[in-house]
Amino acid sequence: MEDDAAVKPPREPVRSKWGVPNTAAVSIPHELSFENISHRFGESVILQDISLTAATGTVTCLLGPSGSGKTTLLRIAAGMERQTSGRVLQDGREIGGPSLFMPPEKRGIGLVFQDYALFPHLTICQNVCFGLAHLKRADRIPQAMQTLARVGLDDRADEYPSTLSGGEQQRVALARAMAPRPGVLLMDEPFSGLDSRLRDSVRDETLGVLRETRATSLIVTHDPAEALKMGDRIALMNRGIMEQFGTPEDLYYRPKTLFAAGFFSELNLFEGVVRGSQVETPLGAIKADGMREGAAAVVAIRLPALYFDPAGKGATARILSRRFLGDFDQITVGVSGVDVPLKMRLRAGALESLGIDINRNLSIRVDPKGCFVFPAVETTSSALT
């Protein structure tokens, strides 16, 4: 045996699915705050009094339906749009407001757009070098290649964007944004151009890179499942207003408004009046703690919260239809005293395994954990879109 064969080779760096060595440099993350941000385009009010803080090194998702103002808020954070009033702060210092307005290139912010916005006439490496103009020429390529290795594309560095798949282009866009090691990363619907299977894996790997680099990240999405999966915090927007800001668990289990409850899952709705701290519904009384006696209320019941009660102690319901939806079945039931059929969600094949047929009468009950009561002043239509 040769002498040097006995010497242990250096350990390979741990590589992720993208071939990302977990050795890359880390950003110095910043806290990013919005303080009473309002914005108008002409006469239209687009954002109203938005305040939130994206804590250092965390991922915050800006979630909401189309037109709710998510992208505008992101553009304001980047300095690409100047808000009508309010301030943007980094680590407590104003970077966009009445006394100081830093241009985008001075904010130390990385940007990833929905369409990736890669330069088609530049190679992958040149695209990533584009954000490194502040470095000496000799330092640009090594840093670009290190970041490309992190997203598993260092072996494609000399190719042009058109030769890459959508998922690979997204990874180049991420590498370009990360290469200057920004303290804050802003991403606008970064996965929406990908098909659903690819989206899951690119999203997981992106989250891995964000965790590894610890950049404070703000991600715009209209997909509640994506926000629940990625966000340390979620800011739920609706028509320019922030409905709720909190952890994924806060928003899902403790929605403050009917809109928030309805954004994360379909609901069955009942109208009623608070009497003795509860609201009577055809499915029984639902607790309405903290609500004013006599107030008009809306009771919202998540689909999985309805279940069949073999003991027959619930409301009588007739099964009207069943739709197979993959992992679960959606069941509609008619309940006396309720005008519209109610929807339930059961494990796929649950009816067959219980020996239950369509058109059979059964007893259904409600799990209180999936029920919420809100003041009736909110409109129900916007909650269910």
Ligand X SMILES: Nc1ncnc2c1ncn2[C@@H]1O[C@H](COP(=O)(O)OP(=O)(O)OP(=O)(O)O)[C@@H](O)[C@H]1O
162 belongs to the binding site for ligand X (CB under 6 A)? no
46 belongs to the binding site for ligand X (CB under 6 A)? yes
170 belongs to the binding site for ligand X (CB under 6 A)? no
127 belongs to the binding site for ligand X (CB under 6 A)? no
To ligand X, the closest distance from the beta carbon of 374 in angstroms equals 23
66 belongs to the binding site for ligand X (CB under 6 A)? yes
182 belongs to the binding site for ligand X (CB under 6 A)? no
The answer to whether the CB of 245 falls within 8 A of the CB of 233 is yes
224 belongs to the binding site for ligand X (CB under 6 A)? no
DSSP state letters, 149-193: HHTT-GGGTTS-GGGS-HHHHHHHHHHHHHTT--SEEEEESTTTT
User: Cβ atoms within 10 A of the Cβ of 63, count?
Assistant: 30
User: Cβ atoms within 10 A of the Cβ of 89, count?
Assistant: 17
User: Cβ atoms within 10 A of the Cβ of 256, count?
Assistant: 16
41 belongs to the binding site for ligand X (CB under 6 A)? yes
User: Among 66-74, 145-153, 224-232, 340-348, which window interacts with ligand X (CB under 6 A)?
Assistant: 66-74
Residue (of 306, 320, 323) closest to 359 by Cα position = 320
Task: State both tokens at 355.
Answer: 């020996």
Out of 18, 20, 50, 70, the only residue in the binding site for ligand X (CB under 6 A) is 70
Give every CB contact of residue 8 below 8 A, 6+ residues apart in sequence: none
DSSP state letters, 53-112: EE-TT-EEEEE-STTSSHHHHHHHHHTSS--SEEEEEETTEEEESSS-B--GGGTTEEEE
Out of 64, 183, 248, 262, the only residue in the binding site for ligand X (CB under 6 A) is 64
The answer to whether the CB of 152 falls within 8 A of the CB of 160 is no
To ligand X, the closest distance from the beta carbon of 66 in angstroms equals 3
221 belongs to the binding site for ligand X (CB under 6 A)? no
Show contacts with ligand X in window 225-254 (CB under 6 A). Answer: none
CA angle 139, 143, 146 (to 5 degrees): 145
To ligand X, the closest distance from the beta carbon of 114 in angstroms equals 8
To ligand X, the closest distance from the beta carbon of 189 in angstroms equals 7
67 belongs to the binding site for ligand X (CB under 6 A)? yes
Out of 27, 33, 60, 68, the only residue in the binding site for ligand X (CB under 6 A) is 68
Q: How many residues bind ligand X (CB under 6 A)?
A: 11
Give contact residues for ligand X (rule: CB under 6 A).
Answer: 41, 46, 64, 66-72, 222
